[in-house]
Structure 1
Amino acid sequence: MTAAGEKPEIEAPEGPAPATLEITDIVVGDGPEAAARSTVNVHYLGVEYETGEEFDSSWNRGQSINFPLANLIAGWQQGIPGMKVGGRRKLVVPPALAYGPAGGGHRLSGKTLIFVIDLLGVS
C-alpha cells in the first residue's frame, strides 16, 4: 500500500467476501478523532470486492470530500468513528452496510465494497 496522502492501490482479495464489516488501520493518525456525529473531510478509493474494479475515487477528481458521517453508508458510519486525522483505514463493507441486496436499485447493490480512506479533518 502507498503512504497516506497518495492514492492507494488495493490488492485483489483472496477468498470469499466477509459477511461483516472489516476495519483495518493502515496508518494510525495522531490528530483529532472522528466521532459518530462528526463531519469528515476524506480522500477515498472504492473498489468492488469480487472484481477489484475501481468504482469511485476522490483522488481522480483531485479533491477530497466533506460530509456528515450520518449522511454516508452504514459501513462508513460504523467504520470511521475512532479514526484519527492523518490516518488511513481500509473498510471491507458487506452489501447490508453498503447499498443493500442485489436488485436494490443502486448499481452497487448486492456488492461487497472495499474502501481505503484517508482522514484529512473532522468537525
Structure 2
Amino acid sequence: MFNVKKAFALLASGVILCSGAQVFAADKEEKKMETEQEKISYALGYNIGQNLKRDYEVDLDMFFKGITESHEGKSSLSEEEMQQTMMTFQNKMKEKQMAQMKESAEANKEAGEAFLKENKGKDGIVTLESGLQYKVITQGDGEKPQLTDTVKCHYKGTTIDGNEFDSSYKRGEPASFKVNGVIKGWTEALQLMTVGSKWMLYIPSDLAYGDRGAGRSIAPGSTLIFEVELLGIE
C-alpha cells in the first residue's frame, strides 16, 4: 500500500528551498520523472501546492521544514503548540468558509429574487403566498397526495442559469419518496398536484436548500427550477 508519509518525505528530500525568485531544484538541471514513485511524489506536491495557493498563504521555508522534520522524527514545536496552532488555523479557515458561503448566498438570493420577479409575469405562472411558483404543463385527473403519502415521480432539476444537477429521466427510473421528506417547495407543490400531472416548479431558496446549499451543484441561496411528473401514490 502506498505510504503518504513516505511520499511527503520523498517530496521534501529531493528539493532545496532557495530564496528570492529562485525555484526548487535538487541540482541545476531539472530532474525528469521516470518512475511511478517520482510521478506520485510530484502529483502529491502539485496537489498540495494548488490547495495551499487557493486556501492559505504559506511560508514555504517553514512548510518544507515541517515536512523534513516530520520525516526525521523531530519537531520544532511541542505537541501542545502544534495542536493549538492547528486549532487556530482550522478556526480561521472555518470563519473564512462561512464568510464565503454568506457572500455567495446573498448574491444568489438576489439573483433568484430578480428571476422570480420577472417569471411572475409570464403566462401560466401561479405564485403562491409562500413564494413558490408553478406552471401546469399537463393536468392529471388522479388523486392528490397527502402529507404522509409516498409518491412516485419523474423529475429534472436545474439552477436558474440552466445547469442541470439531477434527473430521474437520465437515471432511467422514477424516484419514490415521502411527501414530507423532501424540500419545502416540493412538499407544498405535491399536495396540490393530481396524479398524472406534470408541473414546472420555481422554488425560492428558503423553500429549497437555503443558505447551506447542497453539494457542489447547488450553491448557497440558490433558486431552483424543477420539472415534476407525479406518476402515482404508493
- TM bucket (normalised to shorter chain) is 0.7 to 0.9
Relative contact order (alpha carbons < 8 A, sep ≥ 6): 1 or 2 greater?
A: 1
Work out which of the two has the higher radius of gyration on C-alpha atoms and give 1 or 2. Answer: 2
Q: Structure 1 pair 105/27, CA: closer, same or farther in 2 (3 Å)?
A: closer
Whether 2:141 is the aligned partner of 1:42: answer no
Shift of 1:79: 1.2
**For 2:145 and 2:134, how far apart are their aligned partners in 1?**
15
1:21 pairs with one of 127, 132, 135: 132
The structure 1 residue matched to 2:196, chosen from 78, 86, 106, is: 86
Given the superposition, is the C-alpha separation of residues 32 and 105 from structure 1 closer, same or farther in structure 2, using an over 3 Å criterion? closer
One-letter identity of the residue aligned with 2:201: L
Distance in 1 between residues matched to 2:202 and 2:164, nearest whole Å: 14
Over 4 Å off, 4+ runs: none
- 1:90 Cα offset (Å): 0.9
Contact 1:87 1:118 in 2 (8 A): yes
CA 1:28–1:105: 2 relative to 1, 3 Å: closer
Query: % of aligned pairs identical?
Result: 38
Secondary structure at the counterpart of residue 180 of structure 2: helix
Alpha carbons of 1:116 and 1:105: their partners in 2 closer, same or farther (altered >3 Å)?
closer
Superposed CA RMSD in Å reads 1.6
In the TM superposition, what whole-angstrom CA distance separates every residue of 1:27-50 from its partner, at most 9, and x where no partner exists?
11011212222211000000101x
TM-score in terms of structure 2 length:
0.43
**1:65-91 per-position Cα deviation (integer Å, ceiling 9, x unaligned):** 000011100010111112111110111
Code of the aligned partner of 2:142 = G
TM-score, length-normalised on structure 1?
0.79
CA distance in 2, matches of 1:89, 1:122: 16
Contact 2:143 2:195 in 1 (8 A): yes
Point out where structure 2 has 5 or more consecutive residues left out of the alignment.
Answer: 1-112, 118-130
Number of positions where the alignment pairs a residue of Structure 1 with one of Structure 2: 106
> 1:77 maps to what in 2?
187
Higher helix share: 2
In the other structure, the counterpart of 1:8 is none
Q: For 1:66 and 1:55, locate their aligned partners in 2 and report how far apart those are by CA, in whole Å.
A: 18
Deviations, residues 46-70 of structure 1 (Å, cap 9, x unaligned): 0101x11111100000000000011
Report the equivalent of 1:4.
Answer: none
